[in-house]
Structure formats: structure tokens, C-alpha cells
């Protein structure tokens, strides 16, 4: 019981991180139909900025806000400098551009911050708590709370606010949205900023546990992508649930089957999902079978 | 087609010249790796330029070839040639399992599925320590032996790999100009139109995917015997991305461009050793810049410059 709960808790913690990244994928995909393979680098940038600001003695809340803002700005810059100029290119070209961006950002991060992991202080103390025979560190609870709040805020944004509704309209049918007088360009910028901010949040809150390293984004990004595909790529609810499901399954696979193959678990789920139900758990069934 | 034969003859001539006159083993080693990358890129170019599909897991097929050959010869004492055939079988089987479902769907499912597949295979290479030697690599792979002749020198491998590459290019050129290639060309322009002509487009794509996987597997088997040591770090996601980049840099639908891309990206790190770890920075910049400014690739980008001075035959196919 205690063991199962332990795996569940650690799975939910990493699941929360995957969920935030997957939501970022979905937001950009819905706005631009670009699968942004540089998503993981936003996570890394968030963690790196956080580590830098903390090292300079900034109070944690301020560093937190600054790290996320800086990454959001990076997201906007990337859209302007690399995605926007190639907006008429084929999807393959755009995918490759984002992969190139990911390599480029990672290289820059290695140049600026070096190869060693940078420590980030824990936000809420380090003493583990006991919960029905399982231990949980306070930072994990914080991760779960932060993820839930972020996802909830996004949901309110998409359902209640005008820009959020416009973004949904844009995702449903870009041309129709344009005809209704919705300006698509600022929405695309906004989607990059939001998506980068969500991923940065994931990076910031996980950094006290994993430290910040220049290459931390690749694996996290790919797993977030798997989570998004699991949820259906176009559905924000789906991608969040996909994140949690992936995290928990991965944790159980690592705990009960083999910890060595932990990193493969997420991708086995991804491949199985693509083979068996390519539209994802919650995606629209728009896939055309040939 | 005549022009292609000429280009191929020139390429073969240059390579043979290098093979006979070069005395420096280091150059041979760099060139050998380059020739193997060329093999992979030829297949990937067919897949991307014709079937219009991207594989983000070709390093895995390369690795499957290398590890199957390596394990069978080093651990079970098989002869390199029979191991090579089994390696081809393993690679093709893996490609079938991924390709059949993924290519039945419209869109970029193959890219996603091969991405996942690539990571899984990499983790297996790394973790199945009993067979693969794990992260520290597989040692003791014997050199290639064909009909009693053992390949020992880099120069011998160079001639072998040159032959393999020339054959692969010849095969790709003929394939592209065969009825099958025409169907693929049509597929690239309009899937619906090709289907209406009675072609099973899913099957066309699958065949090209299998060819490209087989070439990558072959390159892997040859690499294992040439290097006599393999480790998982040669078969990462980044390598898959590099293969795609080579094709893209040259221009997706141009075989010669893709080979140029392979040459550039294989030689560049050797030349720019001053960058050391930061070569990824250069690599990323080149990739993004080319995709934004020359989306048709270096080859075509330079080609349009040339064409300004040359009359272009109307209706001539610019592919290949």
C-alpha cells in the first residue's frame, strides 16, 4: 500500500510537469499547427533563469516571476525571429526549424551557463512529510498545487476571456476566425508567450529537485510531447490528463517492472497510442484513414 | 538521366582518385564515416523527397544494423556476412512494425512514431547490458570478412564503402526514374490524385520507408565492422535529427544536394574543431538559417543562381 502510494505520488509529481509541458505543446499546435520541438528548451530556460536569479540573491517569489517572464519573452522572440518568417513553409520545414531552434537554444545555454548543474533552493523547506506510509517532499506538493492552479487558470482564460475565446476560435478554424475580424498574428504571439510561460513554470518548480542543467529540456520536452499526443494534441484537457496518466504509468513501470527502462516507458506508450488510437484519448477524430 | 550518370562517374572518379593517392589514415576515417552517412542520406532523401514523410528515428535503424551485426559476430561468433543479412532482416522487421500503422494515416504520424521508436531503441541499447555492453559500448567486433578476405585497412573499407554508396545512388536514381518513382513523384504532389490513378499510396510510402531503413541498417552493419566498437551515443535522437538535417540542407528532393549536406555536416565538425562542444551551436544556427532563408536547400538555392545563366528546358523535372 505504502509502496503503491509512493509510486503514485512520484508519478503525479512528474505527471504535473509533463502536463504543463503538454499543455504548452497543445497551445502552440492549436494556434499554428506547428509541433514545437523546442518546447523542452523553454522548460530548461525557466529553470536556468531561476537558478541565476536565486544565485544573485533575489527573493524566490521575485525570481519565480522574473524567470517565467523572461522565458515568455524568449518565446515571443522565437516566434518573431524563426517561426513568423517561415510561416508559409511546409509543416516539415517548420518542424525542422523548431528542432534546429532546440539545438540552438541548448547550445546557447551551454555557452552561457556551462555544463554543470546549477542548484536552486527549495521554495518550501526540505523536510519530507509522511503520508500513509509514503514520504513526499514539500516541493512535490508545491508542484502539484502550482500545476493545478496553472491549468485551472488557463481553462478560465480559454473559456471566459475574449483573447482566450479568440484563440479557441482560431484553433477550430483559422479562416473563419479571420473572417470574424479576429487578428491571428497577435494571437500566435500570445500563444507562444503562454506556452513558453507554462513550460517555464514547469522548469522553475522542478528545478529545486532536479537542479538546472543545459540539457534537461530534451527529455522533458519529448515526454511532454508524448503526453500531448496521448491526450490528442488538440485538446487542452486531454493533454493535461495525458501528462498525469503518462507520469503515473511511467512511475509504476519504473517501480514494478524495471527502473532502467523508465525513460522508454513514456515512448512505448506514445508509439502504442499512435498505432492503436492515433487521435489520442481525447482528440477530435479528424484523422483520415487512407 | 545522362547528366546523373556523368555526375556519378565524376563522383566515383574523385573517390577512386582519393582512394589511390591519399596516404593519410585520418582522412580515410573521416571519409569512411562520411560515405556511410551518405548511404543513410540517400534512403532518407527518397523518403522525404518522394514519399513526403519524415523519419526522426533513422539513427535507430542505423543502430539496429550496427548492434545486430556487432552482437552476432562479437558474442555469438557468426560470420560478418550472415550477421549482415540477419541485421537487414531485423531492421526491416522493425521498420514494418512502425511503418504499417503509421503510414496508413495522413499527416506526420511517421515522424512522431519514429521519434518514439528511436528513443526506445536507444534506451534498449543502453540498458540491455548483457547483450549490448550498455553505455560503455560493445567491444570485440571482428573486422569484415568476405569470401575469405579480411578487411583490415581503412583504405580497403574506403573502397568498399565507395562501391556501396555508388550502387545505392545508382539504385536511387533508377528507382526515381522508374514507373514506381513516377508514382511516388505524383504522390508527393497530390496524394488524392495518385490514389485516383489506382495506386495504394500507403503501400508506396511503406516501400520507400523500408528501403530507407534497409540502407540505414546496412550502413550500421558496415560501421560496426569498420569501427570494431559501437556505443549507444552514436545512435541518439540528435543523430536522427542530423540525418534529417543533411537531407534538408541539400534540398529535400535532391539526391546530390543531400549528399552535399552529408559531406558538409560530416566534415564541418572536423574542420571547426576550435568550436569543440559548441559545434552544436553552429549546427543549430546553420539548420535554422537554411530552413528560413533557403527552404529549398543549398543545392537548389545555388542552382537557381546557376539557372539564371542557363536556359531551362521547359517541363524538365527538377527533382534529382
Distance CA A83, CA A81 (A): 6
Domain residue limits, chain B: 2-234
Interface of A with B in 145-204 (CB under 8 A): none
Of B31, B19, B33, nearest to B230 by C-alpha is B33
Kindly state whether residue A290 falls inside one of the protein's structural domains: no
Interface of A with B in 223-262 (CB under 8 A): 225-226, 229, 258, 260-261
Distance CA A253, CA A244 (A): 14
Mean pLDDT within B259-278: 75
Kindly state whether residue A190 falls inside one of the protein's structural domains: yes
Cα B224 to its chain centre, rounded Å, is 15
Kindly state whether residue A282 falls inside one of the protein's structural domains: no
- Domain range for A20 is 2-276
Alpha carbons within 13 A on the beta-carbon side of A118: 27
Distance CA A170, CA A182 (A): 8
Kindly state whether residue A288 falls inside one of the protein's structural domains: no
Interface of A with B in 72-131 (CB under 8 A): 82, 85-86, 89-93, 95-97, 99-108, 110-111, 115
Q: What is the pLDDT along chain A (290 residues), one digit of tens a residue?
A: 678 888 898 899 999 999 999 999 999 988 888 888 899 999 999 999 999 999 998 898 899 999 999 999 999 999 998 888 887 777 777 888 888 899 889 889 988 998 889 988 888 777 787 777 778 888 888 899 999 999 999 989 988 999 888 888 888 888 888 888 888 888 889 999 999 999 999 999 999 888 899 889 988 999 999 899 888 888 888 889 999 999 999 999 888 887 778 888 888 988 888 888 877 777 665 555 44
Model confidence pLDDT, tens digit, residues B174-207: 888 888 888 888 877 777 888 888 888 888 889 9
Are B201 and A222 inside 8 Å of each other by CB? Answer: no
Cα B29 to its chain centre, rounded Å, is 18
**B199 to chain A: closest CA residue:** A290
Are A107 and B113 inside 8 Å of each other by CB? Answer: no
Of B251, B190, B247, nearest to B43 by C-alpha is B247
Kindly state whether residue A284 falls inside one of the protein's structural domains: no
Kindly state whether residue A281 falls inside one of the protein's structural domains: no
CATH of the domain at A16: 1.10.3470
Of B215, B166, B212, nearest to B52 by C-alpha is B212
Distance CA B243, CA B97 (A): 21
Secondary structure element (H or E) that encloses residue A268, with its range: helix A262-276
Q: What is the pLDDT of residue A251?
A: 92
Are B195 and A290 inside 8 Å of each other by CB? Answer: yes
Kindly state whether residue A287 falls inside one of the protein's structural domains: no
Closest partner CB to B127 (pick from A93, A99, A260)? A260
**B241 to chain A: closest CA residue:** A99
Are A82 and B292 inside 8 Å of each other by CB? Answer: yes
- Look at residue B121 and tell me whether its pLDDT is greater than 70: yes
Closest partner CB to B295 (pick from A93, A115, A264)? A93
Closest partner CB to A268 (pick from B105, B120, B287)? B120
Amino acid at each position: 500500500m505504502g509502496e503503491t502510494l509512493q509510486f503514485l505520488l512520484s508519478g503525479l509529481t512528474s505527471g504535473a510537469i509533463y502536463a504543463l509541458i503538454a499543455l504548452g505543446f497543445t497551445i502552440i499546435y492549436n494556434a499554428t499547427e506547428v509541433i514545437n520541438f523546442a518546447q523542452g528548451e523553454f522548460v530548461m530556460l525557466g529553470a536556468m533563469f531561476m537558478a541565476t536569479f536565486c544565485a544573485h540573491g533575489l527573493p524566490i517569489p521575485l525570481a519565480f516571476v522574473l524567470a517565467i517572464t523572461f522565458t515568455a519573452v524568449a518565446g515571443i522572440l522565437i516566434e518573431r525571429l524563426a517561426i513568423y518568417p517561415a510561416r508559409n513553409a511546409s509543416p516539415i520545414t517548420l518542424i525542422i526549424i523548431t528542432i534546429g531552434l532546440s539545438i540552438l537554444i541548448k547550445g546557447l545555454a551551454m555557452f552561457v551557463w556551462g555544463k554543470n548543474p546549477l542548484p536552486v533552493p527549495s521554495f518550501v523547506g526540505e523536510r519530507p512529510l509522511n503520508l500513509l506510509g509514503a514520504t513526499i517532499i514539500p516541493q512535490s506538493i508545491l508542484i502539484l498545487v502550482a500545476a493545478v492552479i496553472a491549468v485551472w487558470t488557463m481553462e478560465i482564460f480559454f473559456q471566459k476571456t475574449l483573447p482566450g475565446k479568440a484563440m479557441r476560435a482560431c484553433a477550430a478554424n483559422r479562416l473563419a476566425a479571420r473572417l470574424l475580424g479576429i487578428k491571428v498574428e497577435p494571437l500566435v504571439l500570445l500563444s507562444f508567450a503562454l506556452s513558453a510561460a507554462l513550460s517555464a513554470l514547469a522548469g522553475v518548480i522542478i528545478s529545486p529537485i532536479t537542479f538546472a542543467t543545459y540539457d534537461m529540456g530534451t527529455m522533458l520536452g519529448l515526454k511532454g510531447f508524448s503526453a500531448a499526443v496521448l491526450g490528442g494534441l488538440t485538446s487542452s484537457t486531454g493533454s493535461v490528463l495525458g501528462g498525469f496518466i503518462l507520469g503515473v504509468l511511467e512511475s509504476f513501470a519504473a517501480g514494478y517492472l524495471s527502473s532502467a527502462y523508465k525513460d522508454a516507458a513514456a515512448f512505448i506508450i506514445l508509439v502504442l497510442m499512435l498505432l492503436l488510437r492515433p487521435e489520442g484519448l481525447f482528440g477530435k477524430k479528424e484523422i483520415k484513414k487512407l | 538521366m545522362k547528366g546523373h550518370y556523368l555526375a556519378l562517374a565524376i563522383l566515383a572518379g574523385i573517390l577512386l582518385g582519393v582512394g589511390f593517392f591519399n596516404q593519410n589514415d585520418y582522412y580515410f576515417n573521416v571519409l569512411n564515416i562520411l560515405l556511410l552517412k551518405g548511404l543513410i542520406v540517400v534512403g532518407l532523401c527518397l523518403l522525404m523527397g518522394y514519399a513526403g514523410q519524415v523519419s526522426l528515428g533513422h539513427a535507430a535503424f542505423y543502430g539496429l544494423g550496427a548492434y545486430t551485426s556487432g552482437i552476432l559476430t562479437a558474442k555469438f561468433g557468426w560470420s560478418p556476412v550472415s550477421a549482415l543479412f540477419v541485421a537487414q532482416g531485423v531492421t526491416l522487421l522493425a521498420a514494418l512494425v512502425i511503418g504499417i500503422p503509421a503510414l496508413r494515416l495522413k499527416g506526420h504520424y511517421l515522424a512522431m512514431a519514429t521519434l518514439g521508436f528511436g528513443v526506445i531503441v536507444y534506451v534498449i541499447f543502453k540498458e540491455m547490458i548483457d547483450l549490448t555492453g550498455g553505455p560503455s559500448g560493445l567491444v570485440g567486433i571482428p573486422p569484415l570478412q568476405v569470401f575469405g578476405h579480411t578487411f583490415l585497412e581503412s583504405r580497403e573499407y574506403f573502397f568498399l564503402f565507395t562501391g556501396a554508396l555508388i550502387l545505392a545512388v545508382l539504385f536511387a536514381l533508377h528507382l526515381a526514374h522508374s514507373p514506381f518513382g513516377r508514382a511516388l513523384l505524383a504522390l508527393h504532389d497530390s496524394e488524392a490524385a495518385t490514389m485516383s490513378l489506382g495506386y495504394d499510396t500507403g503501400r508506396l510510402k511503406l516501400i520507400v520507408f523500408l528501403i530507407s531503413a534497409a540502407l540505414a541498417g546496412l550502413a550500421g552493419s558496415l560501421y560496426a565492422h569498420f569501427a570494431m566498437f559501437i556505443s549507444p551515443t552514436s545512435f541518439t535522437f540528435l543523430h536522427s535529427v542530423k540525418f534529417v538535417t543533411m537531407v534538408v540542407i541539400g534540398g529535400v528532393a535532391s539526391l546530390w544536394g543531400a549528399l552535399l549536406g552529408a559531406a558538409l555536416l560530416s566534415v564541418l565538425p572536423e574542420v571547426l574543431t576550435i568550436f569543440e562542444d559548441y559545434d552544436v551551436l553552429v549546427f543549430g544556427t546553420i539548420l535554422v538559417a537554411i530552413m528560413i532563408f533557403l527552404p529549398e536547400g543549398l543545392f537548389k538555392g545555388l542552382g537557381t543562381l546557376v539557372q539564371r545563366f542557363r536556359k531551362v528546358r521547359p517541363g524538365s523535372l527538377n527533382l534529382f
